[in-house]
Amino acid sequence: MSDVVERRIGDLTVRIERSLCVGFAQCVDESELAFQMDDDEDVVAFESPEQETRERLLHACKVCPVEALVVLDADGNQLVP
- Region 56-73: mean pLDDT is 97
DSSP symbols for 19-46? TT-----HHHHH-TTTEEE-TTS-EEEE
Is the pTM above the cut of 0.85?
A: yes
CA distance 34 to 26: 12
**With bands split at pLDDT 50, 70 and 90, how would you rate the model's confidence at 1?**
low
Please determine, for residue 67, whether its predicted confidence score (pLDDT) is greater than 80: yes
pLDDT at position 37: 86
Residue 8 half-sphere exposure, CB side, CA atoms within 13 Å? 5
- The top-level CATH class assigned to 4-80 is alpha beta
Q: What are 14-56's pLDDT values in tens digits?
A: 999 999 998 899 999 999 999 998 877 776 679 999 999 999 9
